[in-house]
């Protein structure tokens, strides 16, 4: 299978779009020379609509590319993404390519700025978390002229390639596991959905799975900020004070789930008999807890390695041109010590 050659946008494209000379476009984008405000606004609007990014290494390298791959993630405090980076880095070992990391804090406008700056140095590829982006970001990704791999999620349409898991399916699978063990009064705690699209999709999958059995989420709570044990403790205490009849708590990540587990153990609650718990991500750091939290792995390192492999294949003239561009990995549930197993066959 032969893919069409990607061509990066040029000054001519912006010039044609806004009806001014390439020299004027260059002056505006490089912030040099005397250009009227009206012309400046027209050029900047055209450049943003096209997704054009100035080439800061033009003329310095014959290839117009550097051996760097932009890896754009929402957080470094969330333990998920360092493992993804380890996977990326391991795949690039012994190759000319090196990852360079940008962090967006889950903010679309910051993601736009980070991508703009990284593309201006003409990397060899982009690995970026998630499928939801601003229109300006999508335009830059579409017209970068390099391989783009969106990671972590496959519930949507990618710009180019994607590697991840179905978070909606993960939520449905957890609902099935909860229902199988006889739990019916469910509480949910997680990050604020407008910022964390993947947590939102897991929540949607969970509610869909429960709804098929005629069960609704009885209580829910959301927070912003990093995943923290203290936050899990606080949220769990507050939820059970509001809704003492809950018999299962599902957390959008393992860290707040671990905080909830520790608080419940302090209270002497029977886990998983009186109340069951589950998180998400399969964070290895939590294996030293007094009880193993039920969880589902997110295939983090595998996602990083597969994304990097796509970049390598696309940038190597001898690479596998027929390699799959859409890769869906399958996470598995680990029941640990906080999900009843009495009904398991």
What CATH number should be reported for the domain holding residue 40? 1.10.260.40
* Least confident residue range of 38-52, 71-85, 152-166: 71-85
pLDDT at 1 > cutoff 60: no
Region of residue 301 (phi > 0: left; psi between -120 and 50: alpha; otherwise: beta): alpha
Cβ-proximal residues to 31 (8 Å cutoff; 6+ apart), any chain: none
**Residue 269 in domain:** yes
**Residue 231 in domain:** yes
Counting Cα atoms < 13 Å in the Cβ hemisphere of 260 gives 32
Structural domain span for residue 209: 167-297
% of the chain surpassing 70 pLDDT: 92
Same domain, 105 and 82: yes
pLDDT at 194 > cutoff 80: no
User: What is the pLDDT averaged over residues 42-54?
Assistant: 92
Same domain, 290 and 174: yes
Same domain, 206 and 232: yes
pLDDT at 61 > cutoff 80: no
**Residue 264 in domain:** yes
Cβ atoms within 10 A of the Cβ of 136, count? Answer: 20
Residue that terminates a domain, selected from 13, 32, 52: 52
Instruction: Check residue 111 and give its pLDDT.
Output: 97
**Residue 335 in domain:** no
* Number of domains observed in the structure of the chain: 3
Q: What CATH number does residue 207 fall under?
A: 3.40.50.2300
* Cα distances (Å, whole numbers) of residue 306 to 47, 109, 132, 163, 299: 32, 27, 20, 7, 11
What pTM, to 2 d.p., does this model score?
A: 0.84
Instruction: Check residue 65 and give its pLDDT.
Output: 76
- Report how many helices (DSSP H) and strands (DSSP E) the chain contains, helices first: 11, 12
**Residue 32 in domain:** yes
Same domain, 81 and 8: no
Rounded to an integer, what distance in angstroms lies between the CA atom of residue 56 and that of residue 121? 6
Instruction: Check residue 157 and give its pLDDT.
Output: 95
User: What is the pLDDT averaged over residues 124-134?
Assistant: 97
**Residue 323 in domain:** yes
Instruction: Check residue 288 and give its pLDDT.
Output: 78
Average pLDDT, the chain: 90
Same domain, 265 and 203: yes
Rounded to an integer, what distance in angstroms lies between the CA atom of residue 173 and that of residue 3? 36
* Least confident residue range of 82-96, 126-140, 143-157, 278-292: 278-292
* Least confident residue range of 46-55, 206-215, 301-310: 46-55
* Structure tokens given for 3: 């893919």
Q: Are the beta carbons of 251 and 234 closer than 8 angstroms? A: no
* Least confident residue range of 56-60, 294-298, 324-328, 340-344: 56-60
Rounded to an integer, what distance in angstroms lies between the CA atom of residue 252 and that of residue 342? 25
Same domain, 216 and 120: no
User: What is the pLDDT averaged over residues 323-334?
Assistant: 89
**Residue 336 in domain:** no
Question: Nearest CA to 7 among 43, 44, 46, 50?
Answer: 50
Q: How far is CA 216 from the centre of its chain?
A: 27
Same domain, 136 and 238: no
**Residue 192 in domain:** yes
Same domain, 142 and 230: no
User: What is the pLDDT averaged over residues 185-207?
Assistant: 90
pLDDT at 185 > cutoff 90: yes
- Residue indicated by tokens 């970068």: 144
Same domain, 305 and 207: no
Instruction: Check residue 151 and give its pLDDT.
Output: 98
User: What is the pLDDT averaged over residues 164-184?
Assistant: 96
pLDDT at 253 > cutoff 50: yes
Same domain, 144 and 221: no
Q: Treating both helix axes as pointing N-terminal to C-terminal, what angle do 300-315 and 80-92 enclose, rounded to 10 degrees?
A: 40
Same domain, 287 and 242: yes
Same domain, 204 and 282: yes
């Amino acid at each position: 299978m032969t893919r069409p050659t990607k061509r990066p946008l040029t000054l001519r494209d912006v010039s044609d779009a806004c009806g001014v000379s390439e020299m004027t476009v260059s002056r505006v984008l490089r912030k040099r020379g005397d250009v009227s405000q009206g012309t400046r606004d027209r050029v900047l609007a055209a450049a943003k609509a096209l997704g054009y990014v100035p080439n800061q290494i033009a003329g310095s390298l014959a290839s117009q590319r550097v051996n760097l791959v932009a890896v754009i993630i929402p957080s470094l405090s969330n333990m998920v993404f360092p493992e993804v980076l380890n996977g990326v880095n391991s795949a690039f070992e012994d190759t000319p390519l090196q990852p360079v990391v940008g962090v967006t804090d889950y903010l679309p406008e910051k993601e736009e700025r980070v991508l703009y700056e990284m593309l201006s140095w003409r990397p060899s590829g982009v690995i970026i978390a998630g499928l939801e982006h601003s229109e300006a970001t999508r335009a830059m990704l579409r017209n970068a002229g390099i391989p783009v791999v969106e990671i972590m999620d496959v519930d949507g349409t990618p710009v180019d390639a994607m590697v991840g898991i179905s978070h909606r399916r993960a939520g449905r699978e957890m609902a099935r596991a909860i229902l199988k063990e006889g739990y019916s009064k469910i509480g949910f705690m997680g990050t604020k959905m407008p910022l964390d699209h993947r947590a939102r999709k897991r929540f949607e999958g969970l509610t869909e799975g429960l709804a098929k059995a005629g069960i609704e989420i009885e209580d829910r709570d959301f927070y912003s900020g990093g995943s923290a044990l203290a936050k899990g403790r606080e949220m769990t205490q507050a939820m059970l004070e509001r809704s003492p009849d809950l018999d299962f708590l599902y957390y959008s990540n393992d860290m707040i789930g671990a905080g909830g587990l520790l608080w419940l153990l302090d209270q002497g609650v029977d886990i998983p008999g009186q109340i069951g718990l589950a998180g998400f991500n399969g964070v290895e750091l939590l294996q030293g807890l007094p009880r193993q939290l039920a969880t589902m792995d997110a295939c983090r390192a595998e996602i990083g390695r597969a994304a990097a492999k796509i970049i390598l294949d696309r940038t190597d003239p001898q690479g596998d041109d027929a390699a799959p561009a859409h890769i869906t990995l399958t996470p598995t549930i680990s029941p640990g010590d906080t999900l009843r197993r009495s009904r398991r066959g």
